[in-house]
Amino acid sequence: MIKIENLSKHFGKVKAVDGISFEVKAGENLILLGTSGCGKTTTLKMINRLIEPTKGKITVNGKNVTEQQPEDLRRGMGYVLQNTGLFPHYTVAENIAIVPQLLKWDKKHIDKRTRELMHKLNLDSKYLPIYPEQLSGGQQQRVGLARALMADPPVLLMDEPFGALDPVTRFNIRKEFIELDELKRKTIIMVTHDVQEAFELGDRICLMDNGKIMQAGTPAELLFKPANNFVRGFLKEQRLQLEFKAVKLNDIWDLLPSIKTRSAAGAIHCNCTVWETLEIITSRKENAVAATNPVNGETKTITFTQLISSFHQYQNSEAV
C-alpha cells in the first residue's frame, strides 16, 4: 500500500531522516516510534508532502507521490495532528466538512456523513453548530479524527494524535480508537513517542533513532528479538508490562493447560493480550476466565497462576 524507499531529508547539514525504507500493507497500523528529533514526524510529513524529501521515493498504491498534485494527494489522505489543528473560526460541522467541501460534495451527502461520524465517535450532534474552543480536549480530538475520516480516505496519517490529552482521557480515547470500525479498514501510519501506545495500537512498529530505523517488526519481535542494544535499551524500562501487552493468548495457547470447558458463555477471544486477560481474571471472584480459540474450536479455562506460568515458559522459549 505504502512503500518508502531509501528516503532522506536533510536540513542543512542535519540529516533528519537518513535513507530509510519500509513498507505498510493495506489495513495495517504502522507506528513510527522514537524520541523527539529522531525523524519520525519528518518521515510522516514527507508522505503527504508537507515536507519535500531530499532523496528517495514514496509510493502510495503504486503511484509516486511526487508525481501528484500535493493538494490532490492530501485530500486523499486523512491527517490528524497532535493539537487538533481545528479552525477556530469554523463550527464543528464546518470543520468536519472541510475536505468534502474541497472535493465538492453536495450538502446532503456532507450532512449525512457528518451525522454518521458524530454518532460513531460518540459526539452529540448538539455540538455541530458550536466552535471548537467550547469543546473539551478529548472532544476536540474526536472532531479532529472525524475531520480526517470524513471523506473516507484509505490512508490515515496521525501525528501524536493523543499527545496533548491528559492520561485518563487519553486512555479512553485510545480504547475507542481500537474499537472504531472505520479505522479497522484503514492503512494507518501513526507517530508517537509513547511506548505503551505504540504497543497497544501498532500491528508493526518502526523504532527510529537519529533519522535511521533501528528495527521494524511486530511488538513481540521488538521485545523478544531486539535487533540491537538500542532497541533493547529503549524498551527496558517497561519491559514486563510491554510483554504482557505484546503477547496474546493465541501465542501461548499450546502452553496453557488443556482444561477444556464445554460452555463458551462469557468466554473471551484468544486475540486478547495477556495483559487484558490478567485484568479480567483479577476482576473476577473465581480468579479464572474461559477463552476460546475459533481456529481449532477449543475453549480453555485459565487461572491467574496458570497464565503467569505459561507466559513465563513462552518468555524463556522466545528469548534469544
Partner 1 sequence: MNEGQQSLLDFMRQESGKLASQTLTHIGLTFISLLIAIAIGLPLGILIAHKRKLSGTVLGIAGVFQTIPSIALLGFLIPVLGIGAKPAIFALLVYAFLPIIRNTYTGITGVDATIKEAARGMGMSYSQILFKVELPLAMPVILAGIRTATVINVGVATLASLIAAGGLGEFIFGGISLNNTNMILAGAIPAALLAIIFDFLLSKVQNINFKKVRTGIKVIPAVLLILACFYFIPTAYAGKLTAGFTPEFMGRRDGDLGLRDKYGLKIHTVVISDAVMYKAAYEKHLDVISGYSTDGRLKAFDLIVLKDDKNIFPPYYAAPIVSAEALKKFPQLESTLNILAGKIDDSTMTSLNYKVDYLHQSPEKVAMDFLIAKRLYKQFRNGNAGTVRIGSKIFGEQYILAEMYTMLIKGYTDYDVSTKTGLGGTQICFGALKNNQIDVYPEYTGTGLLVMLSVKPKILDSLVLDKDKVYNYVREEFKTKYDIQWLKPIGFNNTYALMMRKSEAKNLKIKTISDLKRYLESNK
Identity of the residue, 9 or 300, whose beta carbon is nearer to partner 1 in the bound complex:
9
Cβ proximity to partner 1: between 69 and 283 the closer is 69
Instruction: Give residue for cell 513481540.
Output: 220
Nearest to partner 1 of 164, 272 (CB atom) = 164
Residue with the three cell numbers 495495517: 28
C-alpha to C-alpha distance for 68 and 64, rounded to whole angstroms: 7
Q: State which of residues 26, 35, 87, 264 lies at the interface with partner 1 (CB under 8 A).
A: 87
Q: How far is residue 116's CA from residue 99's CA, in Å, rounded to a whole number?
A: 16
- Least distance in angstroms from the C-beta of 71 to partner 1: 5
User: Would you report the helix, strand and coil content of the chain in percent, each value rounded to 5?
Assistant: 45, 25, 30
CB of 300 to partner 1, least distance (A): 47
The answer to whether 132 and 140 have CB atoms below 8 angstroms apart is yes
Shortest Å, Cβ 237 to partner 1:
30
Q: What are phi and psi of 257, to 5 degrees?
A: -60, 140
Give the CA diameter of the chain.
66
CB of 286 to partner 1, least distance (A): 50
Backbone angles phi and psi of 174, in degrees to 5: -60, -40
Listed ranges 95-103, 116-124, 204-212, 268-276: which one lies at the site for partner 1 (CB under 8 A) = 95-103
CB of 189 to partner 1, least distance (A): 13
x/- letters, 36..55, toward partner 1 (CB under 8 A): ------------x-x-----
- Alpha carbons within 13 angstroms on the beta-carbon side of residue 270 total 19
Give the angle subtended at the CA of 255 by the CAs of 253 and 259, to the nearest 5°: 80
113 counts as binding partner 1 under rule CB under 8 A: no
Instruction: Tell the smallest beta-carbon distance from residue 159 to partner 1 (Å).
Output: 9
Query: Residue 79 or residue 234: which is nearer to partner 1 going by CB?
Result: 79
Stretch that binds partner 1, among 5-13, 87-95, 210-218, 260-268 (CB under 8 A): 87-95
CB 176 within 8 A of CB 144: no
Binding site for partner 1 (CB under 8 A): 48, 50, 70-76, 79, 81-89, 98-99, 102, 131, 147, 157
